Structure 1
Amino acid sequence: MTDASQITKGHACIQEYLKTLDASPGVYRMLDEQARVLYVGKARNLRARVSNYARPSGHSPRIARMIGETASMMFLTTKTETEALLLEQNLIKQLKPRYNVLLRDDKSFPNILVSAEHGFPQIKKHRGAKKEKGSYYGPFASAGAVNRTLNQLQKVFLLRNCSDSTFDSRTRPCLLYQIKRCSAPCVGKISEADYADAVRDAERFLSGRTTKIQERLAKDMAAASDAMEFERAAALRDRIRALTQVQTAQGINPRGVAEADIIALHMEGGQACVQVFFIRANQNWGNKDYYPRVGTDVDVREVMEAFVGQFYGDKEPPKLILLSHPVENDDLVTEALSQKAARKVELAIPLRGEKAELVAGAARNARESLARKMAETATQGKLLKGLAEAFDLDSAPQRIEVYDNSHIQGTNAVGAMIVAGPDGFVKSQYRKFNIKGDDLTPGDDFGMMKEVLTRRFKRLLKEDPDREQDMWPDLLLIDGGAGQVSAVREIMLDMGVEDIPMVGVAKGVDRDAGKEEFHRTGQRPFALRHNDPVLYFVQRLRDEAHRFAIGTHRAKRAKSIGATPLDDVPGVGATRKRALLAHFGSAKAVSRANLADLKAVDGISDTLAETIYDFFHERG
C-alpha cells in the first residue's frame, strides 16, 4: 500500500501546481514536507519553467533529488524577468536554500572616506552604509589593502587621520607630525587653503590622476626654491619622492583599465573558487576569494550567474565587469545590474590584450586557491576523524564549539565561543558574551561558564528546537578540568540537552603545552602522545578561543576606560560632553555642579542642565 504522503511529493505535486500557473514572469520556491525551502528559481514564463520539473526524466542527479523532496511550492509574479532575477537573488541570500548555488561569507568591503564635515577634512577607513558626508573611494578587498593605501596617502599628502574630538583638543603636534606623516593642521602648522590643496591632490590620486599632481608639486617646489623658502621646497621634494615610490611599487597596475571588477571561476571535484579583483583609478585595490556552495553536476554558467547576482545584491557594481566564463542570461544580468546602478554596466569576457591577461591572472589565482583549499579540507577531515577516535565520538564532528572566559580580577568579564569544522575556523559564527550576572563573585569561572552556556543553549532551543539547521554543535571543548566539565554537564542536563559530547582541556601538572589532560564525564582523564597531530589540533582550537576571548576582553576594557558617567545622561552627546568636561575639568566635577553652573555652560540649555542635575542627584 502506498503511503498517502508520497502521493503529494515529487513530479505529481509539481503537476498539480501547473493548473494554477500562467505565463507571467516571477519567482518560485520549492519546499519539503517541513516547509523548508529547497530551491529558489526565477522564470520568464512560470508555467513553462515549472512544467520542466513535472517531467519524470531528463534531470541531473541534483535536480532529481530536489524534485523528489518537493512537497509544496510558492510563487511570486513580477512585472519583468529582470525584477524576478533581483528578487530571486535576494531570496537566495535570505533563505539559503539547500539546492541553490550559494555565496558564503559575503561581507561588506571597506572604503576610504575623505570627510566633508570639517574645515580640515579627515581621511579614514570606512565600512558600512555611506551616511557620513564626504567622498568615498573603493571598494578595497580588505582592511589591509585600505591601510596600505592610507599609509601611502599620509606619506605623500600629510592628511590627518585623527578624530574630530582629538583634533579639537590638541595643543601640540602628535608623533605623526614628527615622522612627517601629518601636516599638523590641529595646531596651525598649515593653512586651511594649503590643506584643502593637499586634500584635492589626495582625491586626484585616488581617482588615478597622478601626473598632474606631480607637475603641480614640481612647480610649487621650484617657486618655493626661487623665493628662498628652502624648508617648504624640501618638504615638497619629499612628497614628490614619496609619490614616485608609490607609483613604482604599483607597477602591477593596469594601464588600460580604469575601473573594473575581475571575476574568475575555477571548478573541480564538486567545489568552486571565485576570485574577485578590484581595479579602481587604474590601481589594483586587492582581491578576495570565495568558495560558493555548488554540486558536482552544476553548470559553470549557473554558478557564474548565481555568484554575480548575489555578490552585487548589496554592492554597487562598477561600469565594467570582466568575467572568465559567461553567465546563463547575459542580457538579463546586464539589465539588472544597470538598473541597480542607475547607469550602464557592461559584462565582458575578454579574449586578448591587457583585459584578457587580467582575467587569466585572476583565473590562475582561483585555481591555486581551490587547490590549497581542497588540500586543507582533506587535512582537516583527517584531523576531525582523529578527534572522533581520540574522544570516542560516533563520527567526525562537523561543528566544534570551544568556550573560554577572560577577565581581570572579575572586571570587564567576557565569555567567548569559537566554531570550527571541515573548513577550519568559521569566524562568522564566533560569538562573544558580556557577562551580566550581578550575583557572580569576581573571578568565578564556573559561574561565568554557566551564564555563557545557558544563554547559548537557551537561544538554540528557542530558534531551532528540532535541530533542523546546522547550528547545533557535535562537540563542546571547555577550557578546564574535571570541575568545569562537571559544571557544564549540570547546566546541559538542566536544559534537557544530554546528547552533545563535551571534553575539558586542562594543562598537565607542570602546565606545559603538550602535556594537556582531557576530561570527560564519568571517565578517567587521559592524555595524547606528545607528537600526535590531534593534540596539536586541539591546542590550536584552545589557543584560538583564548585569543578571541582576550581580544574581546581588551576591547571591552579599553571602552570602559574611556567611559564617563556623562555617557549615560540623556541628551548629552559627544559635543556636549566635551563642552561640560572643558568647563568643569572632570565628570566628577560635573556631577557635583549646582544647577546655575550647569546652565552657564555654552551649548547647555536650561532644560538639559536640569536633566543633568536631576540625573546625578537622583542617583546619589
Structure 2
Amino acid sequence: MLNNSNLRVFLSNLPDLPGIYKYIDSSGNVIYIGKAKNLKKRVSSYFIKNSNSPRISVMVSKIASVEFTITNSEVDALILENNLIKSIQPRYNILFRDDKSYPYLKISSHEWPRLIFCRVYKEKIDGQYFGPFPDSWAARETIRILQNIFHIRNCNDFMFSNRSRPCLLGQIGRCSAPCVGLISKNNYLKDVDDAILFLKGKSNSLIKKIKEKMNQASLDLNFEQASVFRDQVVALSKILNKQTMESVDTEDTDIISIVSEGNKYCVNISMVRYGKHLGDRSFFSENEYLINAETVLDAFASQFYLNNQLPNVLICSHNFADRNTIKIIKKSCKERKKIKIIVSPIKGIRYSWLKQATDNAMLALQKKFDNINLYINRINKLTDILKIKLDSVSSLRIECFDISHLQGEATRASCVVFENCGMNSALYRRFIIDKIKPGDDCAAIEQVLYKRFSQKNIKIPQIVLIDGGRGQIEASKKVFNHLKLDISVLIGISKGENRKTGLETLVFADGRDDLILGLESEALMLLAHVRDEAHRFAINGMRNVSAKSRAYSKVMDIKGVGKKRCAILLKHFGSLSGIASATIEDISSINGISSSLACTIYESLH
C-alpha cells in the first residue's frame, strides 16, 4: 500500500476536477477503475480510516499506486470509465456479461417510410427508432403485427422503385403496395402515423381514432374502406385482449430487478413497449467484490444505457447508489426527455411487472448456481483422476486449442478458456496461422502455442487441452520444451470411433499412459464440453472469414471501388448485406464516395 507520507502528498495534489482514477497493485495490475465529479474528494474518501466497508478495506490494502486522468466533464468520465472497465476488466469492478447488440425497429424518414429491423441506434435523425427489444423474436413479431394491421412496406428502395406489380407481401395483404400505386401517398402516411402511435403504446387511443375513421367512411358510403378500418380495430383488440400484462396507454418502460445470494448478483431487465410486455433478459456480475444492490444498479445502468435507448419509465427494485446516475447517462446520450424513476414498493400492474422480473431473476440465479455445482462436481472428479492440486475448485483454469481451415487454406486457431467454474468468453481468442504447409495441423498447433505462451507474464493454466492425438501433443511438447514450460499440463483429447463423445482417449506429453475414461465419466464430460466449445468457436471464426472474403470479393468487383474504399464501406455498414440495404444517400454520405460512385455501388448490389 502507499505509505502515509507519500499518500498525503499525493492526495493534496489531486485536482478538484472530473475524471477517472485507477488503483494499481504491487504487481502493476489495475484492480479498480472509478469515475469522479471531483477527483480529490472521491479518491481521498477511500483512505479515510473507519469510513469503508470490510470489502473496500481489502481492496485499499492492495493499492500500491494511483493513476488518474482528467476529463472535460462527469459525462466524459462516465464514458471513459465504461470503456476502460470493458477493456481492462479490473478485479474489483462490476462487469456484466452480454455485449450483444439489442434489436430496434426503425420507421425511416423516406418519402414513402419503410419499416426496418436494425441492431444499431443511430443518433443522427434518419428516422424514428423504437426499442430496444429484449430479443430478435420480439422485434420480428412486432414487424409481423405492423404488417398485418397497417401494411407498411419493408422492402429496400431499389425494389420499391423498380416494381411493375406487387411483391408477395402485397399479394397476400401484408403490404399496401405503394410501389405500384395501390394506395395514395396521403393514406399511406396516415397508416404510418397509426403504426407510430401503436409503437408508442397508444393502442387504446389508436382504436378510438380508427373507429372514428370507420364511422366517417360508413357515413360517406365508402363501405370498402370502412371494412378495412373495422379489420384493423378487430386485430388491435385481439392483441390487447391476448396480452395479459397490458397497461392502458403505457409509456416505454424498463423494469430492473436485482437479487443476490451470498456474494453473487443477478440483474433481470424486462421491457414493455407499445403497451406490451415483450420479455426479459438476465445478467450476472462478473465478480463479487465491493458491491451491494444499489451499486450493482448503478453499474448496470451505466453499462446498459450507454449503448441502449433510455425508456420513459424506469421501475427498479432498489434505489440508485448515486442519485445522479441517470442524469449523467442522459447527458452522455444527449437525451432530453424526462425519465420517471419508480422504486419499490409499488402497486397495480407495475407491481406485477416488478414481481415477475424478480421471480425470473431468482430462477436465473438458481440455474446459475446449479450449473456451478455441476461444474464443481466434474472438476473434483477430473482433478482426482489427473492428480492436480488446487487452492480452490474455482481456481482450475483450462485453455483449449483447436485448428480449422478451408480445405487447407486460411488456417485459423481458436483458444477458449474455462475458469471460475464456467466458460469465460471474454478471454476467447483467435489466431491467424501462416507460413505452414496447407492442412498441417501439427505445425499449426506449434505456431499457436508459441504465439500464446511466449508472451511475457502469461498465466499458465493447470491444463492446456489440445484437440488432437499423439502428433499434436508431440508438436505441443516441442514448443513447451523450447519455452521451458511444464509439459505435464499438456493433454490431448483424441476423438474416438465415429467421433462419438465418450470414446475419446486422453494423450499426455509427460510420458503417462494414454487414458480412456469412458462414456459415464464426469471428468471426460468436462473436457469434452471445453473441447466442443473450442470447436464451435473455431467453426464460427472460419464462417466469418469465409463471409468476409466473399464480401470483399463482391465489393471489390464494383468498378471504382478499390481496397481502401472496400474496407471503409464494410467497416461503416458492417457487412455486405448492410451495404446492400443502404440507400444511395447513405452510401454517398461516406467520405471519399461520390454520388455517382454511390449510384454505381447501389446498382451493382441490386
TM over 0.5: yes
Equivalent residues of 1:507, 1:516 under 8 A apart: yes
* CA 488–569 in structure 1, closer or farther in 2 if over 3 Å, else same: farther
* CA 498–277 in structure 1, closer or farther in 2 if over 3 Å, else same: same
Residue 377 of structure 1: aligned partner: 372
Partner secondary structure for residue 139 of structure 1: coil
**Displacement, 1:234?**
7.7
Residue 13 of structure 2: aligned partner: 20
Residue 579 of structure 2: aligned partner: none
Which range is displaced more, 513-522 or 343-352? 343-352
- Cα deviations by residue, 1:309-332 (Å, 9 ceiling, x for unpaired): 3433444433332221122332x3
Residue 597 of structure 1: aligned partner: none
Partner secondary structure for residue 266 of structure 2: strand
Residue 595 of structure 1: aligned partner: none
- Cα deviations by residue, 1:185-233 (Å, 9 ceiling, x for unpaired): 6666666655544433332221223345546666569959998997x88
Partner secondary structure for residue 38 of structure 1: strand
Which range is displaced more, 290-299 or 510-519? 290-299
Residue 404 of structure 1: aligned partner: 402
After superposition, where does 1:360-439 map in structure 2 within 5 Å?
360-395=355-390, 398-407=396-405, 409-410=407-408, 414-422=412-420, 424-432=422-430, 437=434
Distance of 1:557 and 1:82 partners within structure 2: 40
* CA 82–384 in structure 1, closer or farther in 2 if over 3 Å, else same: same
Residue 141 of structure 1: aligned partner: 134
Query: Structure 1 vs Structure 2: percent identity of aligned residues?
Result: 31
Aligned AA (1:349): V
After superposition, where does 1:511-590 map in structure 2 within 5 Å?
511-521=499-509, 522-554=511-543, 556-557=545-546, 564=553, 567=556, 571-572=560-561
**Displacement, 1:137?**
0.9
**Displacement, 1:258?**
1.0
Indicate whether 1:466 and 2:466 are aligned. no
Equivalent residues of 1:254, 1:284 under 8 A apart: no
Residue 616 of structure 1: aligned partner: none
Residue 349 of structure 1: aligned partner: 343
Aligned AA (2:522): P
Residue segments in structure 2 that go unaligned for 5+ positions in a row: 570-594
Aligned AA (2:512): Q
Which range is displaced more, 181-190 or 28-37? 181-190
Aligned AA (2:502): G
After superposition, where does 1:46-125 map in structure 2 within 5 Å?
50-55=43-48, 57=50, 59-75=52-68, 92-93=85-86, 95-117=88-110, 119=112, 121-125=114-118
**Displacement, 1:495?**
5.8
Indicate whether 1:253 and 2:246 are aligned. yes
**Displacement, 1:94?**
5.2
Partner secondary structure for residue 477 of structure 1: strand
Indicate whether 1:506 and 2:494 are aligned. yes
**Displacement, 1:126?**
2.4
Aligned AA (2:496): G
Distance of 2:309 and 2:547 partners within structure 1: 35
* CA 425–164 in structure 1, closer or farther in 2 if over 3 Å, else same: farther
Indicate whether 1:289 and 2:289 are aligned. no
- Cα deviations by residue, 1:104-160 (Å, 9 ceiling, x for unpaired): 434442211223357462422323645682221111122333233233333333444
Tell me which of 179, 183, 198 is aligned to 1:205.
198
**Displacement, 1:50?**
4.8
Equivalent residues of 1:264, 1:324 under 8 A apart: yes
**Displacement, 1:22?**
7.0
* CA 256–101 in structure 1, closer or farther in 2 if over 3 Å, else same: same
Residue segments in structure 1 that go unaligned for 5+ positions in a row: 1-7, 578-602, 613-620
**Displacement, 1:270?**
0.9
* CA 30–405 in structure 1, closer or farther in 2 if over 3 Å, else same: closer
Distance of 1:264 and 1:346 partners within structure 2: 16
After superposition, where does 1:450-489 map in structure 2 within 5 Å?
450=446, 453=448, 458=451, 461=454, 465-467=456-458, 473-489=461-477
Aligned AA (2:342): A
* CA 243–498 in structure 1, closer or farther in 2 if over 3 Å, else same: farther
Tell me which of 322, 326, 336 is aligned to 2:328.
336
Equivalent residues of 2:257, 2:268 under 8 A apart: yes
- Cα deviations by residue, 1:411-431 (Å, 9 ceiling, x for unpaired): 676544444333533344444
Partner secondary structure for residue 326 of structure 1: coil
Equivalent residues of 1:482, 1:504 under 8 A apart: yes
After superposition, where does 1:220-239 map in structure 2 within 5 Å?
none
**Displacement, 1:518?**
1.7
Equivalent residues of 1:380, 1:422 under 8 A apart: no
- Cα deviations by residue, 1:508-539 (Å, 9 ceiling, x for unpaired): 24543321112222333211132122333333
* CA 120–504 in structure 1, closer or farther in 2 if over 3 Å, else same: same
Larger radius of gyration: 1
- Cα deviations by residue, 1:490-520 (Å, 9 ceiling, x for unpaired): 3455566555823322222454332111222
